[in-house]
Amino acid sequence: MTDHKAKTSKVDRVDLDTLGFISELGWAPLPPWARYLVNVGLFVARMEADAPLARIGIALPSRHFASHLVAAGVVLGGYEREESRAPETYFKMLLDLPEGTAVSLRSGTVLKKGKIVGSRNHVEYGTQLGVQVEERSSGGQTSWLHAGLSNRVEVLPGDVTLPKHQKGLKIAAASGLVEEVVRPLDAARFTENAEELCVVVARRTPFVDEASTLMLAARSAGAISAGAITELLRIQGDAKDGGFRTVVTPVSAKSPPKNLIDLGPTTVIFEGPVSYLRWRHGFEQAHWIVLLDRTEPRFAEAAAQLDADFIERRTDELSLPPATSEIAGLELMAHREPRGR
């Protein structure tokens, strides 16, 4: 999917100032460390598609919530990119794809799987892209979309088999929290499948459980919209309706799932020393954000490996976003390395 990415033309950015949580005293802004972690995720997701690979290590006093906050940043940054791409450029990229390419097609509040079947010239709308959503034997229902509708189409990894009849998946309405946080972007498409997935290598069950307990709240114009961070993350296998934006792959697996590698994720978050030590070679062509809890048993080993990577592979420095004040407890190392090694 990353190969098909169009460069951003204009950038509408999410505003973290509205994001906070409900404390005993009411709405409160995110603590500086939490906000910074979201910012790191945003920063990496906002990097140009062909930018050298980011290698970021962060040492923390506790692993709790850290990967969720960074992942929220990655998801929001990825959504910014999706929303800000120029329709004409994206449409041209879709037209250049071979016939049979698997895609998803949003139609009203329903998401269908489909295949590209080429293009045609319409007297009124000009060039149109054809997306077939049902099998040929039952009529081969096809939608024809002009450039202005191209954002309804997302390229899917692998192949797709079309059914004879397809009702499609109902797309969930964005929650109040999502609407407030992604503003000024259009929140409607947020609940669809993401073009850019955020991959987290973590202990899956604790990650998913914690995602439902970390309550955030966005404040705007006196109103507060609260919800769990899981609404922003939209975790595969956990998000009830619509698509997903985060894939959590268990650290205990013997190797990364092949379909996940095929997706070519742009950014991978390694939660904890073991996930990084065991799986770092599985995602060489993605940006890395490695979160290391200082209290975990293999912390020193993982930090030493990050150091070794820094010495052997860095090409230049990577300046991370500045914090408004020094944040005790967070320690960082960051560098870049070229793609395609």
Partner 1 sequence: MRSLQEIDRLYSFCAAVAVQQHLITHAAFEAFSRSTWWLTREMNTLPPHDPLRPLFGQLRRVRFDLAAAPLPATVALSLEAASELESKLRALEPAYTTLRVGLEQLVEDMHALLRDPANPMFERIADLHLAAGGRGAVVVAAARLLAPTQRVVVESLPDAGLGAVAASSLRGTEVYDVLYLAGPARWFPQHVISAPRAPSIVVVQHDWIRDRPESLPSFIESRGPGGVPRTAALNLRLTTSGSPSLNLYGITPEELKPKLDLTVLSESQRLLGHSGVDEEAVEATVLRLVDDIVVLMDGSDGSFATVLDFERGGSPVGRMQVRDIEAGVFVVLRTEGSGDYVLDVANQLLGERAAEARHQQREWKRSLRRAIQTRGADVVISELQRSGARRANPQNLRNWASERNISTDDRADFDGILHVTGLAHRSEELWATMQTIRRAHLKAGAHIRRQLIERAGKVEPQELQLAGHMEFSLEDGGGSLTAYRVEEVRPERLTAFASQLDRPLRIDG
What residues does 288 pair with on adjacent strands?
55, 268
Judged by CB, which is closer to partner 1: 137, or 319?
A: 319
Is residue 24 within the footprint of partner 1 (CB under 8 A)? Answer: yes
Binds partner 1 (CB under 8 A): choice among 189, 203, 219, 234: 203
Is residue 325 within the footprint of partner 1 (CB under 8 A)? Answer: yes
Which span sits near partner 1 by CB under 8 A: 123-131, 171-179, 261-269, 288-296? 288-296
- Tokens read off for 185: 């972007």
Binds partner 1 (CB under 8 A): choice among 36, 91, 190, 283: 36
Binds partner 1 (CB under 8 A): choice among 82, 195, 210, 231: 210
Nearest-angstrom CA–CA distance, 273 and 317 = 23
Q: Give least dist CB 281 to partner 1, A.
A: 15
C-alpha radius of gyration, the chain, whole number: 21
The Cα angle at residue 334 between residues 330 and 339, in degrees rounded to 5: 150
- Tokens read off for 43: 């920063």
Report the Cα–Cα distance between both ends of the chain, in Å, rounded.
19
Total of residues contacting partner 1 (CB under 8 A) = 54
Binds partner 1 (CB under 8 A): choice among 4, 21, 166, 183: 21
- Tokens read off for 47: 């990097």
Q: Give least dist CB 273 to partner 1, A.
A: 8
Q: With contact defined as beta carbons under 8 Å apart, do 162 and 103 qualify?
A: no
Which position has the token pair 């793609």? 339
User: How deeply is 99 buried, as exposed, middle or buried, from its count of CB atoms within 10 A (0-12, 13-18, 19+)?
Assistant: exposed
Is residue 237 within the footprint of partner 1 (CB under 8 A)? Answer: no
Rule CB under 8 A: which residues touch partner 1?
Answer: 21, 23-24, 30-31, 33-34, 36, 57, 59-62, 64-65, 203, 210, 213-215, 250-252, 274, 292-301, 303, 306-307, 310-311, 319-320, 322-323, 325-335
